[in-house]
Structure 1
Amino acid sequence: MTAGEVSRTDVDKALLGSATYRSLGEQQLSPAEERFEKGRRTIGLFLAPVLTIAFLALPLGMEPQQQTLAGVLLGVIVLWISEAVPIPIGGLLGVAVVVFLGVAPADDVLGAFGSSTIFTFIGAFILAQAMLKHGLARRFAFRILALPRIGSSTTGVIVAFGLITAGLSAFVSNTATVAMLLPTALGILGVIAKLMQDRGVVEADFDPLRIRVGSAIMLMLAYGASVGGLLTPVGSPPNLIGRGLIEEATGERISFAQWVAVAGPICLAMFVALAFVVIRLNRPEIKQIEGIAEYVKEQRAEMGALSRAEKNTLIAFGTTVTLWILPGIVALIAGNDSDAYTWISDRLDEGMVAVFGASLLFLLPTEWKEREFTLRWKDAADIDWGTIVLFGSGIIFGSLLASTGLAETIGTSVNDALGLTSVVPITIFGVILAILVSETTSNTASAAVVVPIVIPVAMAAGVDPFVPALAATFAASFGFMLPVSTPQNAIVYGSGAVRITTMIRTGVTFDIIGAFLIILILPIMISLTGLGS
């Protein structure tokens, strides 16, 4: 199969990575990687209960509830990092055990599943599903590629793919975005490879998947999705998890508009740095190209005009985003303390807006005579419900950490051991820890593990946890170094166009630069927006 001959089956295989957890049979792994994954999961399966039981037996002098919760949470973290069981199941198992061991009553523990943020997840996932099903996201991609001068240079194509994935990932699953755009990227790579062969830049029998421009395009796909996912609260699961934990600890909620205002400059700076790093470390073999414009024109012609389903999806999506940002606009005009802002923010809860927008997809008809609507329930049933379960579990443990006093105990112990006494070192600690964890486990689990640690550390030092916790939340979406770090990394690595050494070299460089940008820009933006004060 050539680079331009990517079938729908390839996309379906790639989309398997969009789930929170992927079994070994659902991944394209080398024999060495498969042995590593089997070993990691086997060790986790036995290590989790052993550590929990051993911790519960230690004479630590802690409050019984605190020690029990800490032991269970330790076992859950091992399950999350090792992925010995599906990540959502690890969380649910821990929730059941803390109730069995009497840490808190079941009704109190399960109250987090009624969180508004759970419904924000559900609504956003359903909207994203409609965009993918009806091809609206793909149409957006080809519209960007059709812009003047984009297709005339390899740099333009590389940057365009980064912009497309970043823009889509602000609202659509990072992994699904990359999986959807992979066939387009491979098709364009095939055009570039043929041009290089005709010009004699490469040998006649070269592998079109082993050229530097291919690595650059694929890495922009994977990394651009992670950067774009930071832009909105619904862009990536770690965002909503971190935001929920911050609200639980500080009582301050970050609105949709406030999040975008804070994250926007960070995403812009990170994208510029990303483009520089990817192109610099994977310098394209040729600069000027022809033929891309014709390829894009052919693809757009095949799609034709906007369908009724696409128009309906745009209506639902536009309505949802408008209602999400409306309270922020009112706050800018009338102020956060005004009656108008209080009135509208109380009514336009983000979770309820998301559910309303998603419901429109089941109300807007595509064929009224047949009573066919934009989405069917079976489409909604395909969304990643595991992430929603994991989010609820993470919020439950965050709440129990506070209510049992374990958070304060952890914070005091870490503070005494590391001597973290001000906001800057605590922020650096949170960012580095989140990046390290995200390289070895899912970004969602990274946020669920790291943010509950950073918050009590800050509180024990007498520091407002807002900045360190939000910085750790952003850093949890990293994981640029290895194919196993994120599903989108695995997808582009599985295409065969990116060597493992290339991904490691580029990923480490961007990890360092991205961490620096978060630590530098985030406190400035929080101060300018008046958050955390």
Structure 2
Amino acid sequence: MAHSDSRRATIRLYRKLKSGWIWATSTFTGNLILASFISSFFRNLGYPDDVNFVFFLSILAVGLWVTEAIPPFAVGIFIIAGLLFGFGTNFVLEGQKTPVEMYLGTWTSNVIWLLLGGFFLAEGLSIVSLDRALFRFTLSKFGSDPSRLLLGLMLTTAVGSMVMSNTATTAMMVSSILPLARLMGKDSEYTKALLIGIPAAATLGGMGTIIGSTPNAIAVGALQEKGINITFIEWMLFGIPVALISIYVFWKFLTKKLQLDGIVLDTSELMGKTNTKNGFEKYAVIFTLSLTVFMWLTEPIHGVPIAATSAIPIVLLTLFQVIKAEDVRRLPWDTLMLVAGGLALGIAMVDVGLTDIIMEKISQLPIPMIGVAIVFSIVAVLISNIMSNTAAASILVPLGLSLPGIWGFAVPLIIALSCSCALLLPVSTPSNAISYSTGMIEQKSFRPGGLLMMVLGPVLAFVSVMLYALIFF
């Protein structure tokens, strides 16, 4: 009987894989045709071949990410392979051979190391069950009501992301709620709410302080070059309201869309005593976590880059034998492939001048300055969804700084905040990538909330910054 059941299960799996292969192939081909069709119109504008090639690859990558014709990590590898094939050979771009090390270099970028450090911390917390202890602390403060507990977890995440890396905060919080997510099951609406809400809170919460998000620091640094200084407290005057309002609206959106009011949480099992392997391992993880967070928070004092600090959990947790070889193999390496591909695409868009072309066209639009500011905020959130928000801010902030009068002050700040509202895809932000790496949420689950913040985020950023600018500038 067991043999018969096994055979039937094998047949069902084979049929699923077979039909999945047909669907994936036809969808990939459809994306290829659509990208070629759209690119043909762009090619008629007369730009160089390298610009046309990167535009085609960008359209194709976005289509593959949205339709999931192939897994997101495979799209990341495909992007890098496409760039190497296009710029490293004469097959696509004749006479366009250029150094391709910058595309391969995304595998060792700061974001990749930051992600990897966060993965090691999260794995260490999980191994010694400290993630459960953090969850129980939040549960004791906010209770077991589903909606209220979700709000508590999102606020805890937001506060953490204001003073430390959004990536590290997400890794820690996602690790802490995984026991509940596994208890509820992959198909539970509450599992979706947790794995969508926490990365969103980390990203949106980062808008609250200068150090909360890299685009914030880019905007402040650019304004300082212009002789305009914004203090930590001054940023919080407009950053905190945008962050808190965004998180509250996002929380309300999740509770209504996923109908969390009807869910009953049985947290008695999670409130039980935590089993840790031994006292040494637990204190080793606490020490490593404390040292890593301390180094992240005091970066302006010691000057050690955040990415370099990420080596601390990698070295110490393996040195203390908390994380062993078999544990390392379980880490979500596919997420790193996904992020590396997104970074490579962003570098290519900048390198060939595609982003400059886009912004030049925007600046030529026959609209008043307020319209230009709105366009900048929309473009910021759009391109941050398909490339690093740090790269997006690096491109757009200098352009916004060149605007006349108060707009040259306000638009860089609006751009920085808008870049932190990109939540549409797993690749849009490392926080989303970490949540997606759990394997308990589908890529399409990010879309409704991502679309909401693409509209709401720039609006809130514009209103808050303009009020601040009119009062204090």
TM tier, shorter chain?
A: 0.5 to 0.7
2:420 corresponds, among 464, 469, 474, to 474
Q: Deviations over 1:307-361 (max 9, x none)?
A: 4333222211211111111134x4xxxxxxxxxxxxx32xx12221112342221
User: Which of residues 36, 41, 55 is equivalent to 2:28?
Assistant: 41
Give 1:389 shift.
4.6
**Distance change (3 Å), C-alpha of 1:49 and 1:98:** farther
**TM-score computed with the length of structure 2 as normaliser:** 0.65
Tell me whether 1:284 sits opposite 2:261 in the alignment. yes
- Is this contact kept in 1: 2:381–2:458, CA < 8 A? yes
Please name the residue that 1:202 is paired with: none
The reply to whether residue 429 of structure 1 matches residue 378 of structure 2 is yes
1: CA distance between counterparts of 2:326 and 2:80? 24
1:159 deviates by: 3.1
Matching residue within 117, 124, 134 for 1:130: 124
Aligned to 1:205: none
Does residue 76 (structure 1) correspond to residue 64 (structure 2)? The answer is no
- Structure 2 residue 112 is the aligned partner of structure 1 residue 90: no
| Letter of the structure 2 residue corresponding to residue 379 of structure 1 | D
**1:159 and 1:220 in contact (8 A); partners too:** no
**How far apart are the structure 1 equivalents of 2:27 and 2:224?**
38
Q: In the alignment, which of 315, 331, 347 is matched to residue 383 of structure 1?
A: 331
Are residues 1:228 and 2:228 paired?
Answer: no
1:268 aligns with 2:254: no
Does the alignment pair 1:181 with 2:177? yes
Q: 2:308 aligns with which of 352, 377, 380?
A: 352
Residue equivalent to 2:133:
139
Note the C-alpha offset of 1:457.
6.6
Give distance in 2, aligned partners of 1:39 and 1:130.
42
Tell me if structure 2 keeps the 8 A contact 1:216–1:278. no
2:460 alignment partner in structure 1: 517
1:527 and 1:376 map into 2 onto residues whose CA distance is: 56
1:158: Cα distance to partner?
A: 4.2
More helix by share: 2
Task: State the shift of 1:92 in Å.
Answer: 0.5
Give 3-state SS (helix, strand or coil) of 1:143's partner: helix
**Is the Cα contact below 8 Å between 1:73 and 1:94 reproduced in 2?**
no
Q: Secondary structure in 2 aligned to 1:362?
A: helix
CA shift, 1:449, in A, is 9.6
Q: Distance in 2 between matches of 1:427 and 1:319?
A: 39
Query: Displacement of 1:446 after TM fit?
Result: 7.7
**Which consecutive residues of structure 1, in runs of 5 or more, have no partner in the other structure?**
1-24, 191-208, 234-238, 331-343, 366-372, 439-443, 481-485, 495-499
* 1-structure distance, mates of 2:461, 2:33: 37
Separation of aligned partners in 2, 1:429 and 1:313: 42
TM-score (norm 1): 0.59
Q: Secondary structure at the match of 2:261?
A: coil
User: Which residue pairs with 1:99 in the alignment?
Assistant: 88
State the partner residue of 2:364: 416
Whether 1:321 and 2:314 are equivalent positions in the alignment is no
Cα separation, 1, equivalents of 2:358 and 2:41:
14
Cα deviation for residue 226 of structure 1 reads: 1.6
Q: Please tell me the residue identity of whatever aligns with 2:51.
A: L
2:280 aligned with 1:308:
yes
Q: Distance in 2 between matches of 1:249 and 1:383?
A: 37
Deviation of 1:113 after TM superposition, in Å, equals 5.5
Q: Distance in 2 between matches of 1:403 and 1:157?
A: 45
**In the alignment, structure 1 residue 150 sits paired with structure 2 residue 143:** yes
Q: Closer, same or farther in 2 for the Cα pair 1:176/1:79, shift >3 Å?
A: farther
Shift of 1:505: 8.0
The 10-residue stretch of structure 1 (78-87 or 397-406) with the greater mean CA deviation from structure 2:
397-406
Residue identity (%): 16
Contact preservation (8 Å) 2:110, 2:307: yes
The 8 Å contact of residues 427 and 472 in structure 1, kept in 2 or not, is answered as: no
CA 1:306 to 1:402, structure 2 compared with 1: closer, same or farther past 3 Å? same
Unpaired segments ≥5 residues, structure 2:
1-12, 208-212, 226-231, 427-431
Q: Give the Cα separation in 2 of the matches to 1:247 and 1:399.
A: 22
- Give the secondary-structure state (helix, strand or coil) at the position aligned to 1:383: coil
What count of residue pairs does the alignment treat as equivalent? Answer: 416
